[in-house]
Chains A and B, each alone.
Chain A
């Protein structure tokens, strides 16, 4: 057991660990660089107009990012608006109201739902939700709200069943379990003494939630919501199945649209290497990357602010 080799192995070991950390750093650097490099041609050709142009025409080789970007942002917004109240309610119920044994089983079920692969949600949406929207929801809405001025614009369109609303629903179902799981953890972390004293003052369960638990865990909840939003932003397979994939913009939530991720997934195989079309897809990917990084940084910032 000489002293020398042992010492050097220690150094080799820490060098290996340091190197692996460096590889992870380089992976993200490479990701950003290669996406930017791939999209360079499109950025140079179209300039800033790329962001605001609604044209996506492979025939005339004209590409703009507005339609897929709007689709991504709107479907994510719809998903978040549906998923957040649902997740909050479920987490509230599981942590404060449901009987202990039932809550254990149900929270496992919710966590399992979060583990289901996204392509399964895609198939489920495609074979169940899309026909349901087309045959039940859309005719119902069209029949009852046809004469209301603003709603009419949001609801119009032939009953295909696919569109932003359907996508938002499926995405909401996908991210709600995830947000619920994180919120449950956050709620459980509230010191029991705070809750007990509020109960001692005669507060109802809802009041304890509203005035003690929620303010205490606000930063964690915001983090959960933003992380869920990030998932919805980049979700590909589930969206590709249910959004209908038409690059157009308009008011209706019930006609086929597209998102950045689904456009990339569908058009990539048809885009020859080195073409302007491929470059435009890469540029879209770069923008999506920026969006998802921004949402993560926002989540961290908010968490640090209120912690």
Chain B
């Protein structure tokens, strides 16, 4: 009896310990980001472009580039992923080999290392045209987001009761109408959540942008040219030996993390209600 109790106590202590360690790590990361990132935060961070060390540069162009690229990626990934998700949820009759394959492929795409997506888009959109571009960066991000959108769209649509579809069909609505106006509307909340989480994930991705949008030191709105982004700026600045660059890297890291965590927290709060 005593041995069993001791076993239980030991397991309790060990598991509580591992939980505490994980939370401490999260706190350590947040504390590091706040204590090293906040001192560099100023208006200039948002308004000035990146520049040579000691020039008082900011992250303005990187922030803008991140917004443009993730926005464009979302414009590509959301319709594509939602259409594919609708197909998987609504047109997957019994023994549909094609749908099964597509679902499996989406699973694989979800776990493909993101740097390989960068290499793929490099081969597809950078090497043939001979130059890096913001557009290629956006496509690479979209490839990462699509499987997430597919998965949430399909899952959410499957939660819509069959009775609702039957009711729509009974009213004489064509199938597309039932799917778009009834099912998609009913699943709106969950799908929005998925889209937001995909946005948060894309916002922090670095590896796929290395070989596609390359980064840029100045302001650029041209999607056909190399484009800056926040994660790339951090990557470039964090390893540098100039103090102001390292400071900007921390500030950028703080901005990204706050952005990503905010989206996640908002999603969690709204889905709890």
Contacts and interface: CB of A to CB of B under 8 A. Distances in A.
Contacts of B261: 112, 115-116
Interface stretch (A32-40, A52-60, A153-161): A32-40
B123 A34 contact: yes
Nearest to B246: A127
A45 interface: no
B246 to A, nearest CB: 9
Name the residue among B115, B124, B176 with the largest chain A CB count within 10 angstroms.
B115
Interface string B1-32: 00011011011101111110111011011001
B131 to A, nearest CB: 11
A19 to B, nearest CB: 8
Interface stretch (B52-60, B159-167, B252-260): B252-260
B264 A288 contact: no
Contacts of A10: 174-176
A265 B115 contact: yes
Interface string B131-157: 000000000000100110010000000
B18 A90 contact: yes
A66 interface: no
A27 B109 contact: yes
A93 B253 contact: no
Question: Considering the complex of A and B, which 7 residue pairs feature the smallest CB-CB distances, nearest first?
Answer: A234-B113, A117-B204, A89-B18, A89-B15, A20-B83, A13-B176, A204-B8
Main secondary structure of the interface of A (DSSP, over half): helix
A25 interface: yes
A231 B111 CA distance: 7
A112 B176 contact: no
B113 A235 contact: yes
A206 B12 contact: yes
B116 interface: yes
Interface residues of B, number: 85
Given A21-B98, A293-B108, A6 B260 contact: no
B235 A237 contact: yes
A209 B80 CA distance: 42
A112 B26 contact: yes
A149 to B, nearest CB: 30
B259 to A, nearest CB: 10
Interface string A3-45: 0001101100110111111011101101100110110000000
Name the residue among B117, B264, B268 with the largest chain A CB count within 10 angstroms.
B264
A106 B16 CA distance: 11
A124 B24 CA distance: 13
Interface stretch (A134-142, A172-180, A192-200, A248-256): A172-180
Interface in A275-290: 281-282, 285, 288-289
Given A90-B22, A116-B29, A296 B111 contact: yes
Contacts of A112: 26, 261, 264-265
Contacts of A17: 83-84, 86-87, 90-91
B19 A106 contact: yes
Contacts, number: 253
Interface string A262-280: 0011001100010000000
B47 interface: no
Given A234-B115, A235-B113, A16 B23 contact: no
Interface of B: 4-5, 7-8, 10-12, 14-19, 21-23, 25-26, 28-29, 32-33, 36, 79-80, 83-84, 86-88, 90-91, 98-99, 101-102, 105-109, 111-117, 119-120, 123-124, 127, 143, 146-147, 150, 174-176, 179, 200-201, 203-207, 210-211, 231, 234-235, 238-239, 249-250, 253, 256-257, 260-261, 264-265, 268
Contacts of B239: 126, 241
A62 interface: no
B176 A9 contact: yes
9 contacts: A13-B179, A20-B84, A21-B87, A86-B22, A90-B18, A112-B265, A204-B4, A207-B7, A207-B8
A30 B174 CA distance: 35
Given A17-B86, A117-B203, 16 more contacts: A10-B176, A21-B84, A23-B84, A24-B150, A31-B112, A88-B15, A92-B15, A98-B16, A111-B268, A115-B261, A116-B261, A233-B113, A235-B113, A237-B235, A288-B113, A289-B116
A94 interface: yes
A77 interface: no
A205 interface: yes
A162 to B, nearest CB: 12
Nearest to B90: A17
B256 A282 contact: no
Contacts of B86: 17
Contacts of A180: 22
A258 interface: no
A123 interface: yes
A120 B26 CA distance: 11
Interface string A200-224: 0000111101000000000000000
A113 B117 CA distance: 24
Nearest to A39: B119
Nearest to B130: A273
